[in-house]
Each structure stands twice: as structure tokens, then as C-alpha cells.
Amino acid sequence: MRTQTALGAAAVLLLAAAAYVGLFASPPDAFQGEYVRIMYAHVPNAWVAYLAFAITFASSALYLWKRRSGYDHVAHSATELGVLFTGLALATGSMWGRPVWGTWWTWDARLVTTAILFLIYSGALLVRGLSDDPQRGARLAAVIGIIGFLDIPVIHYSVTWFRTLHQPASIGPGSLKIAPPMLLALLLSLLAFTVLFAYLLRLRTSLARLEAGAELS
């Protein structure tokens, strides 16, 4: 409980610091102007989403191997948070894309892969919710958590090559040169979001454990 409170306090402090550095202390971008500040919210969202899906994969595999419900609670919580942060990453990316690229959406590989991931893991949550029995739901969701994660590299490369055969990718990671103060702001918000994610994951996992306990009694 005390760890949880400390983690929450750290998340709040780091988020406040990241917000200050991202909004005021860091310089505007030479090309993107003030819009570059959306990056400090967008990139951490995407990072946390991928982190969550990696945790889903690991805990799903552990659950199927060891069959301890604790692993399933972590997998369930990580899937939910992953879907949430994928949605946020898509939304913030769209808001950033509108002023910078001039469009809400483009068929860039990264965008399509992220949207597909959102669908796969929403499917995992649906399967869990719609199965007749919680244990079976846990097993089936773990299976999707595993095959979905194995699919990520294949989806990413296939989506990249599907488009790049015809047109070069509009925005690549190398095209955004990043200045040291901006890098600092980005790293700070990455850290803040990671701590926030750790806090939420612990909170959600203990909620899942309590829910399972309530169902048994």
C-alpha cells in the first residue's frame, strides 16, 4: 500500500515536472513551432502502449505455463492499459498530424500498425468479457495476448513494405532531428508516463485480484 502511494506521488510529481518542461522550459521547434510540444504527450503514450503489450505477452505466457491467477491479473490489467494508451497514442498522434502534416490520418506504417494493435487487443478484452467462465476467459485472452504479440513485427514490416513499394513513407523517425533541451523534455515525460503506467498497472492488478476474490466467495 505504501509503495503504491509513493509510486502515485512520484507519478504526479514527474508528470508536473514533465508538463512544465514540455510546455514552458523547452524551446519551440524551428519547423513545427509550438506544435512540437504534442510530441511530449504522444511519444510516451505510444511507448507505454508497447510496454503494456510486452508485459501482456510475458504474463500471458507465464499464466499458461504456471497457471497462477496472479499472472492473469497482470495480463488482464496490462491489456486494458495497453488498449487505453494505444487509443491515446492514436488520438494525440492525430492531433499532432493535423497541424504538422496537414492531415488527421495518413497511411503511414506506424499508424496502421498501431491501429491494428488497438483492434487485436480490444478483441482480447472482448473474448475475455464474452466467455462463459472467467478461467476460460483468462486462458483464451492469454492465447490472443501471445499470438497478437508475435504478430507485431510481421504486421509492422508487411504494412511498411506494402506502402513503401509505391510511395516513400511520409514521416520517418530520422527526419525529426531533436535538440538537447527537447530530448530532455521527451525523456522526462517518457519517465513520467512509465511511472504513471507502473502505478496504474499495480492499481488495476490489485483491483483484478479483489474482483476475483469477490467472485469466489
Partner 1 sequence: MNGLLRAAAVARKDLLVEWRGRQTTTATGMVALLMILLLGFVIGSEPGRAAAVLWVALGFAAVVGIPRITQSEVEQQALETLLLYPGSREHLYWGKSVALLIMLAALLVALLLLLGLLFSVDVWSHWGALLGVGMLGIVGLSAIGTLLAALVLHVRGRELLMPLLLLPLALPVVLGCVRLTEAVLADTPAGLWPVVLVAFDLVYLLVCPILFEVVMEEV
Binding site for partner 1 (CB under 8 A): 64, 116, 119-120, 122-123, 126-127, 130-133, 135-136, 139-140, 142-144, 146-148, 150-151, 154-155, 157-159, 161-162, 165
What is the closest distance, in whole angstroms, from the C-beta atom of residue 154 to partner 1 in the complex?
5
Q: Which is nearer to partner 1, 8 or 87 (CB)?
A: 87
What is the closest distance, in whole angstroms, from the C-beta atom of residue 120 to partner 1 in the complex?
5
What is the closest distance, in whole angstroms, from the C-beta atom of residue 64 to partner 1 in the complex?
6
Residues 79/85/87/90 CA torsion (nearest 10 deg): -130
What is the closest distance, in whole angstroms, from the C-beta atom of residue 207 to partner 1 in the complex?
23
Residue 29 has phi, psi (to 5 degrees) of: -80, 150
Give one word for 102, left, alpha or beta, with left for phi > 0 and alpha for psi -120 to 50: left
Asked if 127 contacts 144 with a C-beta cutoff of 8 angstroms, the reply is yes
What count of other Cβ atoms lies within 10 Å of the Cβ of residue 63?
Answer: 24
What is the closest distance, in whole angstroms, from the C-beta atom of residue 104 to partner 1 in the complex?
21
Cell numbers linked to 21: 518542461
Q: Which is nearer to partner 1, 126 or 178 (CB)?
A: 126
Asked if 108 contacts 116 with a C-beta cutoff of 8 angstroms, the reply is no
What is the closest distance, in whole angstroms, from the C-beta atom of residue 203 to partner 1 in the complex?
28
Q: Which is nearer to partner 1, 6 or 119 (CB)?
A: 119
Q: Which is nearer to partner 1, 97 or 148 (CB)?
A: 148
Asked if 143 contacts 149 with a C-beta cutoff of 8 angstroms, the reply is no
Q: Which is nearer to partner 1, 131 or 194 (CB)?
A: 131
Q: Which is nearer to partner 1, 26 or 69 (CB)?
A: 69
Length in residues, the chain: 217
Residue 57 CB-density burial (10 A; 0-12 exposed, 13-18 middle, 19+ buried): buried
Q: Helix, strand or coil for residue 117?
A: helix
